[in-house]
A and B are shown apart, each in its own frame.
Chain A
Amino acid sequence: MNRFVIAEPKLCIGCYTCEAACVDVHQEVGLQAHPRLVVTQTAQGTMPVQCRHCEDAPCAKVCPVGAITEADGMIQLNESTCIGCKMCALACPFGAIEPHGSSPLSQQMPYEPYVESAGAIIGEPLAPSAISAPLSSLLDWSAGVRTVAVKCDLCYFREDGPKCIQVCPTKALRIVDSESLSASISAKRRQTVAKTSQVLSGASAAENE
């Protein structure tokens, strides 16, 4: 069975630490610096939404170049093979895949968020041109990056597993794998037996009266 990360809305306090950690670890290894889980606040509850690593994944089915494959108990997306056709984002029933990259200059939005001069580290002189024409500190790592699909990869490159689980202050995130799933299923079966026998013994007691 494919494993996946899921959040418990009762515990999630919407603090976005998971999103920040996700960007940080992926940027570090040269993958898209974009959160792969998105904290979503609704009137019914709040939690980060991310890939469920479906057994019969619609995103893998619709990918025309085979960039999305099932291997090692997860759905993997190869950011180098991806052509940015966005079909996977349309097919995903959870909203867990998002295209991300820099847009061409000609398509610039009428209102971009304001970014201050690049915040390089003290002691490292910047080229004078960088001072007269401040660059976005965000663009430092994203300029010229073509748009590809971005989704949860379970931090496969980390020995400690998904970073989001590690940093969540309320431990609202957990990994579901075949072991934990069967443990939870058998616990619920035991509860079902207990409840059923309670109901039935109550009923037979009533019949006996």
Chain B
Amino acid sequence: MTTVKTVCPYCGTGCNMYVHTGSAHIAKVTPDLEHPVSQGELCLKGYYGFNHVADRRRLTTPLRRQGNDFIPISWDSALDEVAGKFSAVRRDHGPDAFALFASARCTNEDNYVAQKFARAVMGTNNVDHCARLCHSSTVSGLAQAFGSGAMTNSIPEIGEVSDLIFIIGSNTAEQHPLIARHVIRAQQRGAKLVVADPRQTEMAEKADLWIRVPPGHNIPLVNGMLHVVIKEGLHDKEFIDAHSVGFDDVVHAVESFSPEAVERMSGIPAGQIVHAARMYAGARASVILFAMGITQFSHGVGNVASLANLAVVTGQIGRPGAGVCPLRGQGNVQGACDLGALPNVYPAYQSVTDPALRAHYESAWGVTLPAKVGLKITEVPAAIDRGEVRTLMIFGENPLMSDPDLGALRKEIQKLDFLVVMDLFMTETARFANIVLPAACWAEKDGTYTNTERRVQRGRAVVPAPGEARLDWAVFSALAARMGYAGMNYGGAQEIWDEVRRVVPKTFGGISYARLDKLPGLSWPCPSEDHPGTPILHKDGHFTMASGKAQLTPVLFDPNVLPDAKTKGFTHAITAHVVEHADTAYPFILTTGRRVYNYHTGTMTRKSPLLEQLAPEERIELNPADAKELGVADGDFIKLSTRRGKSIARAWVTERVAPKNVFSTFHYWEANCNELTNAQSLDPICGIPEYKVSAAKVEKSSAAEAKSWRDWIQGEYRVAVERATNAVLAGRVQK
């Protein structure tokens, strides 16, 4: 039996683990006792979520679509065809007719090479990845406030230093169990916990103060807290004067958000707002943890900006245990952003529109680069519809499960001239592809991953890739070579990383593979080999803005569209409202998220029999009062519908959700909340959709109706997936 240390492939916590292999397959996983974040623990996905690696449904050869079927082809002919089509679309329709979806599941090296391929080879900035759908509001909101869109502190500080933890819009116990562990450790030490969430999550249960925020009403809560802080003189005047600009505008903006006014607007009790404000501002070191419950709104950037205001005005930032911490969902979503898999920036967030920065990358890569900001993921469907994007390549992402309004997206994706999908399995997305390429997974590749606290860590290959599956970056290198670009001929992951270190030395220069092999990761920025890394950003109020000062931004909110009168007198305010409200036809509010057992679209976790046994199907959370009115018992089937689509699953009758609220996930194709979510309600700044608020209708259903709905959706989603998988498997067995 051999043992290799690597990084857990699931959430952004970045736990380290030992993978033990017997024969050629993973036998078990054990935790790393010395890692500063996971400290000898793992969650159930870390321990038991590895079966997908050796699953016989893994793709092992390239496939070409033939009518409704897929036939195995050689890598040579697959690469020839893809390179030929990419060259043709670039020649006939221009570089911007191509778009690339990169992957937050893949390594820093994969993402660096992928975005370089889009920019240097294809000549377009149309490269983006699923961070658009999870934390793009954070990247925009925190960058404009602090100069950097990343978590400001390290995870162990939460457990060891913070006196007050304010969790807003994060289901930490389920989505980042090993970060929740640090929160529990803080509580054992006497720290206080304030949780703001529409649902009574595990963290809400453990909170000293839990505020039930109606979905979409975070801004009035945070503005209300700011109102109390300023009125009671709890703000840090010295810090504000020395380290920020724009305070007066914020004072003016929160004037109308008295606790009583917020209570009238949102139903949040005024006393709770006062209490939360005093606790947060009064603690020695307060830390804010947030996730999708802040970001996934049509006003996600406004939510993030209001939290940044709160931290700066109270001086709760730039010190050990005090800061603003976006908890990122995917293993390398931080890294994919850092390495430039975004349409507006090169690696290390260097703007593509800045001529000096562009010149730097042009000389590094030896090509002329496009100056136009590319398309965001959420803008691509409409661009396909208009015939502007004709060719799309997707790797390590399953948008036909994870993106909003799937009914519409299924139609749009079929309008493409050419779709290439590179993945581990025949996914709901791959079934629409013209060419499917087999990729090596996390356990089969070397490289680096960056966790949510900016800790760059070394991932290591444990087992060989199955069949002819290849490394993602190697496929982009091979395509580049075929398309006449010589600058992407790498000998291995380390060679790519060393290029990254040369190209962005200020951020990554000091993070070498040799150091990563000795240390439990290094947090960027780390400019030189003798630099210890930077666990805390903006230390002592020296923000990474050009001015060195934090930029406060007034955030205005009204549940409905703001009247012009309210926005008068503000030059750069963010205005926010909620797009959909409950009405007589759709009297419920649907809010969406994930559960602890599964990871996103389930392509990996649903291959684990153990996880599948514990959570075999979707359960929609429904409040007991609504259940009673509908005549629904726990475990009965309910039909959920919105203006976009419907889904049928069993009800989980629970007080976790408020009356007239329902909660559903996107783990199960059988009942996917993204059939119902809204793809049109985008944040005007970052383009994130409002996943968290949809007006919905709930009706009692039956097992028979559920079965017939599942049969239909199986045809829509799964028949092609399973037929292709089985055909490929049958071919393999015959061989």
Chain A residues in the interface with B (C-beta under 8 A):
10-17, 19-21, 23-24, 33, 35, 41, 43, 45-46, 109-111, 113-126, 128, 131-132, 134, 137-138, 140, 167, 169-170
Q: Are A33 and B730 closer than 8 Å at their CB atoms?
A: no
Q: Is B177 within 8 A of A15, CB to CB?
A: yes
Bound: A128/B729 CA distance, A: 10
Contact A131 B656 (CB under 8 A): no
Contacting pair A128 B55 (CB below 8 A): no
Q: A23-B613, A117-B722, A117-B726 are in contact. Are A111 and B51 (CB under 8 A)?
A: no
Q: How far is the CA of A23 from the CA of B732 in the complex (A)?
A: 32
A118 and B55 CA atoms in complex are apart in Å by 9
Give the residues in chain A near B189, CB-CB below 8 Å. Answer: none
Shortest CB distance A101–B (Å): 14
When the two chains form their complex, are residues A13 and B177 in contact, meaning their CB atoms are under 8 A apart? yes
CB distance from B470 to the nearest CB of A (A): 16
B20-63 toward A: CB 8 Å interface, digit per residue (1/0)? 00001100000000000000011110011001101111101000
Interfacial residues of chain B within 1-33, with CB under 8 A of chain A in the complex:
24-25
B interface residues, tally (CB under 8 Å): 61
Instruction: Pick from A19, A117, A128: contact of B57, CB below 8 A.
Output: A117
Q: Are B202 and A13 in contact, CB atoms less than 8 angstroms apart?
A: yes
A16 with B597: in contact, given A111-B703, A113-B616, A137-B612 (CB under 8 Å)?
A: yes
Of listed A20, A24, A132, A167, residue having the most chain B CB within 10 A: A20
Bound-state CA distance A15–B733 (Å) is: 39
Residues of B close to A17: CB separation below 8 A: 42-44, 47, 177
* Inter-subunit contact B56/A126 (CB<8 Å): yes
B178-186, B524-532, B567-575: which lies at the interface: B178-186
Contact B670 A21 (CB under 8 A): no
Residues of B contacting A113 with CB < 8 Å?
616-617
**Contact call B177/A41, Cβ cutoff below 8 A:** no
Which of B173, B184, B205, B597 is the most central at the interface, judged by chain A CB atoms within 10 Å of its CB? B205
- Contact sample, A vs B, 25 pairs, CB 8 Å cutoff: A10-B187, A23-B614, A43-B200, A43-B205, A109-B703, A111-B706, A111-B707, A113-B617, A114-B670, A115-B616, A116-B607, A119-B609, A120-B56, A121-B56, A122-B55, A123-B24, A125-B732, A131-B726, A131-B730, A137-B612, A167-B42, A169-B177, A169-B178, A169-B181, A170-B180
B622 to chain A, nearest CB (A): 14
Contact B609 A14 (CB under 8 A): no
Q: Is B654 an interface residue, CB under 8 A from the partner?
A: yes
Q: Is the CB of B47 within 8 A of A167?
A: yes
Chain A residues near B617 (CB-CB < 8 A): 113-114
A124 and B606 contact, Cβ closer than 8 Å, known pairs A41-B654, A45-B205, A138-B613:
no
B466 contacts A122, C-beta separation under 8 Å: yes
Besides the contacts A15-B177, A17-B43, what 8 more A-B pairs have beta carbons closer than 8 Å?
A: A13-B173, A20-B48, A23-B614, A43-B656, A46-B202, A114-B616, A119-B56, A122-B54
User: Which residue from chain B places its CB closest to the CB of A35 in the assembled complex?
Assistant: B614
Task: Evaluate contact between A119 and B184: CB separation under 8 angstroms.
Answer: no
B232 at the interface (CB under 8 A from A): no
Q: Are A11 and B184 in contact (CB under 8 A)?
A: yes
> Contacts A111-B637, A120-B56, A124-B56; is A15 near B173 (CB within 8 Å)?
yes
Q: Are B655 and A43 interface neighbours, CB within 8 A?
A: yes
Tell which of A12, A111, A114, A117 touches B725, judged by Cβ atoms closer than 8 Å. Answer: A117
Contact partners of A121 in chain B: CB under 8 A: 25, 54-56
Task: Say yes or no: A16-B206 contact (C-beta < 8 A), given A115-B612, A126-B56, A126-B733.
Answer: no
Across-interface contacts of A116 in B (CB, < 8 A): 57, 606-607, 722
Contacts of A167 in B (CB 8 A): 41-42, 47
Highest count of chain A CB atoms <10 Å: which of B44, B177, B704: B44
Residues of B within 8 A of A33 (CB): 613
Nearest-neighbour CB distance to chain A for B327, whole angstroms, equals: 14
CA distance A118 to B609 in the complex (A): 9
Q: A13-B181, A15-B173, A20-B614 are in contact. Are A114 and B710 (CB under 8 A)?
A: yes
Q: Looking at A13, A15, A120, A131, which has the most chain B CB atoms within 10 Å of its CB?
A: A13
Contacts of A124 in B (CB 8 A): 56
Q: Kindly state the separation between the CA atoms of A46 and B607 in the bound complex, as whole angstroms.
A: 27
For residue B661, give the distance in angstroms from its CB to the closest CB of chain A: 15
Choice from B41, B611, B613, B616 contacting A169 with Cβ under 8 Å: B41
Closest 10 pairs (CB-CB, A-B) = A113-B616, A13-B173, A169-B41, A110-B703, A111-B703, A20-B44, A17-B44, A15-B177, A119-B55, A43-B655
Q: Is B270 at the interface (CB under 8 A from chain A)? A: no
Minimum CB distance partner of B705 in chain A = A111
Main secondary structure of the interface of A (DSSP, over half): loop
Measured CB to CB, the closest approach of chain A to B312, in angstroms, equals: 31
Could you tell me if B612 and A13 are in contact, using CB atoms closer than 8 angstroms?
A: no
What 0/1 pattern do residues 691 to 735 of B give for CB contact below 8 A with A? 000000000000110110010001000000010011001101100
B44 contact set on A, CB distance < 8 A: 15-17, 19-21
A14 with B726, Cβ < 8 A, contacts A23-B613, A138-B612 known: no
A19: chain B residues within 8 A (beta carbon): 44, 614
Give complex CA distance A20, B41 in Å: 14
* Contacting residues, chain A, for B52 (C-beta < 8 A): 119
CA distance A120 to B58 in the complex (A): 11
Task: Give the distance in Å from the alpha carbon of A110 to the alpha carbon of B711 in the complex.
Answer: 13
Instruction: Kindly state whether residue B596 has any CB partner on chain A within 8 Å.
Output: yes
Chain A residues closer than 8 Å to B143, beta-carbon distance: none
CA distance A109 to B732 in the complex (A): 35
Q: Which of B174, B613, B656, B706 has a CB less than 8 Å from the CB of A15?
A: B174
B184 near A170 (CB under 8 angstroms)? yes
If A14-B596, A114-B670, A120-B56 touch, does A128 touch B177 (CB 8 Å cutoff)?
no
Q: Give a binary string over B449-475; 1 marks a CB under 8 Å from any A CB, 0 the rest.
A: 000000000000000001100000000
Residues of A within 8 A of B654 (CB): 41
Interface string of B56-74 (1 = CB under 8 A from A): 1110100000000000000
A128 engages B43 (CB within 8 Å): no
Shortest CB-to-CB span from A184 to chain B, Å, is 17
Flag whether B610 is at the interface (Cβ < 8 A): yes
CB of A58 to closest CB in B, whole Å: 26
Residues B145-197 near A (CB distance < 8 A): 173-174, 177-178, 180-181, 184, 187
Given contacts A114-B670, A119-B56, A131-B726, contact A23 B610 (CB under 8 A): yes
A122 touches B58 (CB 8 A): yes
Determine whether the beta carbon of A131 is less than 8 Å from that of B707.
no
A137 contacts B730, CB within 8 Å?
A: no
Tell me the minimal C-beta distance from A19 to chain B in angstroms. 6
CB of B719 to closest CB in A, whole Å: 13
Q: Which one of A23, A110, A131, A137 contacts B729 once the chains associate, using CB atoms below 8 Å?
A: A131
How far apart sit A143 and B597, CA to CA, in the bound complex (Å)? 24
- Per-residue A-contact encoding for B186-226, CB less than 8 Å = 1, 0 else: 01000000000000101101100000000000000000000
Q: How far apart are A167's CB and chain B's nearest CB, in angstroms?
A: 6
Contact (Cβ within 8 A) A46 B205: yes
Q: Tell me if B56 and A13 are in contact (CB < 8 A).
A: no
Query: Residues of B contacting A10 with CB < 8 Å?
Result: 187, 206
CB distance from A103 to the nearest CB of B (A): 15
Q: Report B-chain residues with C-beta under 8 Å of the C-beta of A138.
A: 609, 612-613, 616
Per-position binary interface string of chain B over residues 636-658, scored 1 when its CB falls under 8 Å from any chain A CB and 0 otherwise:
01000000000000000011100
Identity of the chain B residue whose Cβ is nearest the Cβ of A168 in the assembled complex: B41
B614 partner, pick from A11, A16, A126, A170, beta carbons under 8 A: A16
* Interface pair B670/A119, CB less than 8 Å apart: no
Specify which chain B residues have a CB less than 8 angstroms from the CB of A122 in the assembled complex.
54-56, 58, 60, 466-467
Residue among A11, A110, A131 making CB contact with B704, cutoff 8 Å:
A110
Contact between A13 and B730 (Cβ–Cβ < 8 Å)? no
B710 touches A41 (CB 8 A): no
Residue of A nearest to B38 (CB): A169
Please, which residue of chain B has its CB at the minimum distance from the CB of A124? B56
Q: Which residue of B lies closest to A27 (CB)?
A: B610
**Contact A16-B670, Cβ < 8 Å, known A116-B606, A169-B43:** no
A70 to chain B, nearest CB (A): 30
Measured between beta carbons, the chain B residues less than 8 angstroms from A16 are 44, 596-597, 614
